[in-house]
Amino acid sequence: MSIFEKFDHLRQTYDSLGDRSHNPFSVSFDRIESATEGVLNGRRVILLGTNNYLGLTFDQHGIDEAVRAVQTLGTGTTGSRVANGSYAGHGALERDLATFFGRRHCMVFSTGYQANLGMLSTIVGRGDHLILDSDSHASIYDGARLGHAEVIRFRHSDPDDLYKRLRRLKDVPGSKLIVAEGIYSMLGDVAPLREIAAVKREMGAYLMVDEAHSMGVLGEHGRGLAEATGVEADVDFIVGTFSKSLGSVGGFCVSDLEGFDILRVACRPYMFTASLPPSIIASTRSALQRLDRDKSLRTQLMANATQLHNGLQALGLEVGPHVSPVVSVALDEPETAVRFWNALVDGGVYLNLALPPATPSSRPLLRASVSAAHQPRQIDKAIDLFGTIARELGVLPAVSFAAEPPRVAAA
C-alpha cells in the first residue's frame, strides 16, 4: 500500500483530463512574450487567464527598478525579517501601501496566500469567532483552519444571513471578525459591501475585506471595493496581493487599529518565512506608483472587461452577474468544459478552467481575466473563438439566426 493511496480518486480524475500537453492543470508555457501573449506547445496564444489586470508585468520602469535592485542588493534576502532583519525596501513598500490606502499600519507578506493565512490565524484566537463568506478563497479557509477561532459561514454575499449568524452570537463573548472579498475570483461577482458594513456596525463586529482581485480595479483611486462603496471607515483590515494588479508576488494587510504592529512577532506565516527579494519589492513599488498615478489603466481595463462580458453574453453564453475583469462562462458538463478549454488553446486563446468542487454551484467554469493591456482585437478574437467552439460542441445552437430579423413563414 502506497502512502499516496489516499489520492487514488484524485489521480483518476486528474488523469482523465488528458495527457500533459492537454491537461488544463499542467500548463507549461514555452515563452511569455508580453502581458497579453505567450507561446504554449509551440502555439502563440492570447493570455486571457493571468489576473494581470493592469498589464504591468512588462512595465519598463518596473523592470528597470527590479534590475537595479537585484544588481545593488542581490537576488534574495535568504531569511525572515524577524531573524535576518528587514531591508530598507520592505519598510518603504509598507509605508507606500499605508499611504495609498490612507491607513497607519501595513505588513507585507511573501505571498497573498500567506497574508490571509497569517492574518486569519492570528488576529482571532480561541474564544473568538470568524464569520466567512461561504465562497471564500482557499487561503481564507486555510487561515481559518490554522487558527483557533470558531469558524462559521454565511451564505455567499447575503447580508441578511450574516446578520442572522451574528445575532445568534450576540451574547457570546469573544471578538467577531467578518471576512468578505471585493471581487470573488471565480465568477467575478462583487460583494454587497455597503450592506455587510451596515450589519458589522449594528452587531459590533470587525470587518476584513480581501481586495486581491479589486485593488487597482475598483474605486476612483483603485483602492478597491471598500473605496467604491464608500465604506472604508468600516473596514478594519484590508488584505491584498501583489500578484495581480501589481504584477509581481507577495501580499499585505493594512489597518488603522491601534496595536497592529504586535502582529510582527505573533503572526507565524509572517515570522517564519523568507522575506520578499529586493527585485520584487522594487517592481511592486513601481507598479503601485503607476496604479496610483495612471487612472487610464482602470478605464481601459473596465472597457475591455465590458467588451468581453457583453460579447460573450450576446453569443448566448452564461456569464457572471457583474461586469468585472473576471469573466467566467458557466457550462454544464465537466467533459464539455475540458474539450472547450482545449479547443480555445488550440485556437490561440489561453484562459483558466475551473472544475467543481472549486467552483460555486457545482458547475465547470471557463474563467477569463481581462487586462488593461489587451487590445480590443484580441478580445474580439476570443469572443469569435468562443462562439465557434460553443456551436461546434453544441453548447449553443449550431447555426444562430439571432442577429437576423425573424422570418415569416410563407402562407
**Residues found near another protein in the complex (CB under 8 A):** 134, 144-145, 150-153, 155, 164-165, 168-169, 356-357, 360-362
Give min distance, CB of 358 to another protein, in A: 10
Q: How far apart are CA 45 and CA 17, in angstroms?
A: 21
Q: How far apart are CA 68 and CA 265, in angstroms?
A: 31
User: Which residue number, 144 or 267, has a Cβ lying nearer to another protein?
Assistant: 144
Q: How many residues does the chain have?
A: 411
User: Which residue number, 42 or 357, has a Cβ lying nearer to another protein?
Assistant: 357
Q: 14-23: string of b/e by CB count within 10 Å (b at 16+)?
A: eeebbeeebb
Considering only CA atoms, which of 279, 242, 243 is closest in space to residue 97?
A: 242
Give min distance, CB of 207 to another protein, in A: 18
Give min distance, CB of 12 to another protein, in A: 16
Q: Which three cell numbers stand for residue 240?
A: 491584498
User: Which residue number, 144 or 281, has a Cβ lying nearer to another protein?
Assistant: 144
User: Which residue number, 178 or 345, has a Cβ lying nearer to another protein?
Assistant: 178
Angle between helices 112-122 and 138-146 (to 10 degrees): 40
Query: Strands 349-350 and 43-47, how do they pair?
Result: parallel
Interacting residues of 197 by C-beta distance below 8 A, sequence separation 6+: 207, 229, 231, 234, 235
User: Which residue number, 152 or 198, has a Cβ lying nearer to another protein?
Assistant: 152
Q: How far apart are CA 326 and CA 184, in angstroms?
A: 9
Give min distance, CB of 147 to another protein, in A: 11
User: Which residue number, 44 or 168, has a Cβ lying nearer to another protein?
Assistant: 168
Q: What amino acid is encoded at 305 in this protein?
A: A
Q: How far apart are CA 84 and CA 332, in angstroms?
A: 51
Give min distance, CB of 165 to another protein, in A: 5
Q: Which three cell numbers stand for residue 23?
A: 491537461
Give min distance, CB of 144 to another protein, in A: 7
User: Which residue number, 332 or 392, has a Cβ lying nearer to another protein?
Assistant: 332
Give min distance, CB of 141 to another protein, in A: 8
Q: Which three cell numbers stand for residue 164?
A: 442572522
